[in-house]
Amino acid sequence: MSNEDNNSRRLRAGSSLGANLQLFLQRSLGGITAILLFMMMILTLLDVFGRYLFNSPIMGAYEITELMLVILIFAGIPLASANDEHIAVDLIDGVMPPFIVKVRDILISLTMSVVMGALSISVWHKGLEAIKYGDQSAMLHVPMSPVFFIISVTLGLAALVSLALAWQYTNFRVGDDRRLKL
């Protein structure tokens, strides 16, 4: 897809729900992912310097990086959903009637919402089990339940974003070039 096509599929800034949701996701989750990525970079840098200059790596750096990476990935899912930047193959989009494309987009968004919502609930229950059994990371003994709850909340946000996209797809006319632009 070209950048123009991609931009035309984002949450519409003209609607208050789309604009507010987009702004919230960009500021909060975008900030969190930027901070996590920076912290991972600094941790890796310090770990490498410690290992090669002082022969003393940071204890648990690999585990901390793993946990930050998990949160970074799942915090990015609602952002990718809001910008409609999930991987897509558009081999037949050019020959399909616009009405079929609209129905397909609505069905895909609704399916994504249901799947993300179900995953969110499942991971939430896994977080509750982690509390019950006292699950911890292997080396640093970090409790795993907060990680599961963060994953669950981000998946829930992605489900809401997909639902908002489905709503917007249903409210715009077929062939309307102004739909879903930022």
pLDDT digits (tens, 9 = 90+) for 70-91: 999 999 999 888 887 888 787 8
Q: Which residue has the higher pLDDT, 15 or 94?
A: 94
Tell me how many domains the chain contains. 1
Contacts 24+ apart (CB under 8 A), 137-145: 137/63, 137/67, 138/63, 139/59, 139/60, 139/63, 140/59, 140/60, 140/63, 140/64, 142/63, 142/67
Residues 128-172: tens digit of each pLDDT: 999 999 999 999 999 999 999 999 999 999 999 899 888 888 887
Residue 178 lies in a domain: no
pTM: 0.82
Q: Which two tokens stand for residue 3?
A: 């950048």
Residue 154 lies in a domain: yes
Residue 42 lies in a domain: yes
Structure confidence at residue 11 (pLDDT): 57
Residues 17-68: tens digit of each pLDDT: 566 767 777 888 889 999 999 999 999 999 999 999 999 999 999 999 999 9
Task: Give the C-alpha separation, 75 to 150, whole Å.
Answer: 8
> Which residues sit opposite 136 in a β-bridge?
143
Contacts of 101 (CB under 8 A, 6+ apart): 93
Task: Give the C-alpha separation, 24 to 72, whole Å.
Answer: 17
Domain extent at residue 65: 3-171
Residue 153 lies in a domain: yes
Task: Give the C-alpha separation, 173 to 96, whole Å.
Answer: 16
Task: Give the C-alpha separation, 36 to 109, whole Å.
Answer: 28
Residue 126 lies in a domain: yes
Residue 179 lies in a domain: no
